[in-house]
Amino acid sequence: MLLKSFKGGVHPRYFKDLTSGKSIRKIDPPDRFIIPLIQHTGGPCAPLVGVGDLVKKGQLIGKSDKYISSCVHASTSGKVVLIDKAPHPILGKAQAITIEADGRDEGVKDFSKVRDMGEISPDEIRRKIEEAGIVGLGGAAFPTHVKMTIPENKKVDTIILNGAECEPYLTCDGRLMVERPKDILEGLGLMARAIGVDRAIIAIEDNKPEAIASIEKALQNTQYKIRDTKVVTLATKYPQGGEKQLIAASLGREVPPCGLPFDVGVVVSNAGTALAVYEAISKDKPLFERVVTVSGDCIKEPSNLLVRIGTPIKALIDACGGFKKRPKRLIMGGPMMGVAQTSTEVPVIKGTSGILALSGEFTGGREEGPCIRCARCVDVCPMRLLPTDIVRLARKARYEDAKGLNISDCMECGACTHECPARIPLVQWIRLGKMNIPKG
């Protein structure tokens, strides 16, 4: 069978078998939660509670009046002990609400009861998604209700469920598709309803045959059937799950530079997000927990864990038996685009897909050599850029010229750096260049 794919890309070592067969396991809530007021792309929330207040699981504790933002909820019942700057996995430090758990784990309501959704309206779906604080769980954490609001002048005909999970090590989406295919499809159906499309594509890389089989089986009996739903098997290649690559691979449409998926009539949602949407609407459950893959060659028992937002990652590592050997790098996210962490005190946030503890054996980072113009970076760039030439300019601070080579098209997937035989930190230079390009 000819698999769908995009042009370029790399084949990193995947190490998915460390966790791909491990069922999702729930861990006990910790004693203390750090819930950052910004966990998403957009404006930060203002706290709705004060120090000393008692909160319950699922209670709204932070909200913003910005259009692009997403509210935050308490992950357990307990007392607010601090509202101040706290460790943040991406920003270093950020305003957060620290909650001391009372151990009762009492919710504002019972989140396990499924209610009849009936003929729920698109606006109602969007409102529920917004109230539940749902963001894209693939990593970028863009507020989902904003994504589901299509501008007047755009016509959307397809929704793509992103089940590619192209980052090495990560298996949380794959596991969810194996374990909860029906709920994911219900969520997808609700999103399709919200944006008014009757065509859905479920795109999964061919290294997850179990997930493909499970989704295909569940397609038979979902409530919110979409008229035209098909599962598309994609070639296993990084970054197959990049939004623009995913759309190009599954539909043959190219999102224009600086454009968004709805410019080509598409909305893309991650598999975990679809599940969160289903739970928000059928159970009124805000996004206060998610599945995180804890893996890497330094983790004793790599696992997929169902974790409350705000749990310090130390608790996740402990739940996996701790470190087997001393990790050199601790990463939140996947190895290709994840963020290195300095401490195990940082909390899990909505966009946390994985926690990796790596010994450094495969992280690269040997001494940099001269570029031999082998053009591997050019061959693999999924955005068809010339990384070697852009970096040559960025190094010399010739940002205007770098702009001429479309430096801003770079989505920072890191494929170039991964391939470079001279170990040149290509994407790192490009990042620096992007920050410095003259405006206008």
Partner 1 sequence: MDDQDRFEIASSPHASSGRSNRAIMCFVILALMPNAIVSIYFFKWMALRLYAACCLGSVAAETIGCLIRRKKVTAGDGSAVVTGLLLAMVLPPSLPIWCALLGSIVAILLSKEIFGGLGQNIFNPALVGRAFLMASFPALLTSWTKPITLEAVTRATPLALSKFEAIRTPMADLFIGNISGSLGETSALAIIIGGLFLLIKRAADWRIPAGFIGVVILFGGLLNLANPSSFPGVDFQLFAGGLMLGAFFMATDPVTSPITKKGRWIFGLGCGTLVVIIRAWGGLPEGVMYSILLMNAITPLINRYTRPRRFGFKIG
Residues engaged in binding partner 1 (CB under 8 A)? 10, 12-13, 168, 244, 254-257, 259, 314, 323, 326-331, 333, 335-345, 356, 358, 360, 362-366, 369-376, 378-379, 382-386, 388-389, 405-406, 409, 412, 414, 417-419, 421-423, 425, 427-428, 431
CB of 369 to partner 1, least distance (A): 5
Which residue number, 178 or 357, has a Cβ lying nearer to partner 1?
Answer: 357
Pick the closer one to partner 1 by CB: 196 or 364: 364
Q: Which is nearer to partner 1, 15 or 278 (CB)?
A: 15
- Considering the complex, state which of residue 428 and residue 436 has its C-beta at the smaller distance from partner 1: 428
CB of 91 to partner 1, least distance (A): 14
Q: How far is the CB of 411 from partner 1 (least distance, A)?
A: 9
Q: How far is the CB of 75 from partner 1 (least distance, A)?
A: 22
DSSP state of 294: E
Buried b (16+ CB within 10 A) or exposed e, 58-96: bbbbbbbeeeebbbbbbbbbbebeebeebbbbbeeebbb
**Can you spell out the DSSP letters for 321-386?**
TSBSS--SEEEES-TTT-EEES-TTPBP-TT--EEEEE-SSSS------------HHHHH-TT---
Query: 235 vs 340, which CB is nearer to partner 1?
Result: 340
Element (H, E) at 111: none
Smallest gap from Cβ 371 to partner 1, in A, equals: 5
* DSSP assignment of 33-67: EEEES--SSSPPPEESS-TT-EE-BT-EEEE--SS
* The token pair that represents 319 in the structure block: 């739940």
Instruction: Work out how close the CB of 382 gets to partner 1 at its nearest, in angstroms, rounded to a whole number.
Output: 8
The nearer residue to partner 1, 129 or 358, going by C-beta atoms, is 358
Q: How far is the CB of 326 from partner 1 (least distance, A)?
A: 6
Q: Choose between 116 and 361: whose C-beta lies nearer to partner 1.
A: 361
| DSSP symbol at 439 | P
Rg (CA), the chain: 21
401-405-410-416 Cα dihedral, nearest 10 degrees:
-100
239 alpha-carbon distance from chain centroid: 13
Measured from the CB of residue 80, what is the shortest distance to partner 1 in angstroms?
Answer: 26
DSSP letter assigned to residue 79: E
Name which of 196 and 404 has its Cβ closer to partner 1.
Answer: 404
Burial degree of 304 (CB within 10 A; 0-12, 13-18, 19+): buried
Please list the helix, strand and coil fractions of the chain in percent, rounded to the nearest 5, in that order.
Answer: 30, 25, 50
H helix count then E strand count, the chain:
13, 17
Evaluate whether 433 touches 400 at the Cβ level (below 8 Å).
no
Token representation of residue 278 = 């289903």
Provide, rounded to whole angstroms, the least separation between the CB of residue 254 and partner 1. Answer: 4
**Choice between 218 and 339, CB closer to partner 1:** 339
C-alpha span between 280 and 288 (Å, rounded): 10
143-181 CB burial, b ≥16 within 10 A, e <16: bbbbbbbbeeeeebebbbbbbbbbbbbbbbbbbbbbbbb
CB of 219 vs partner 1, minimal distance in Å: 31
13 vs 227 by CB, closer to partner 1: 13
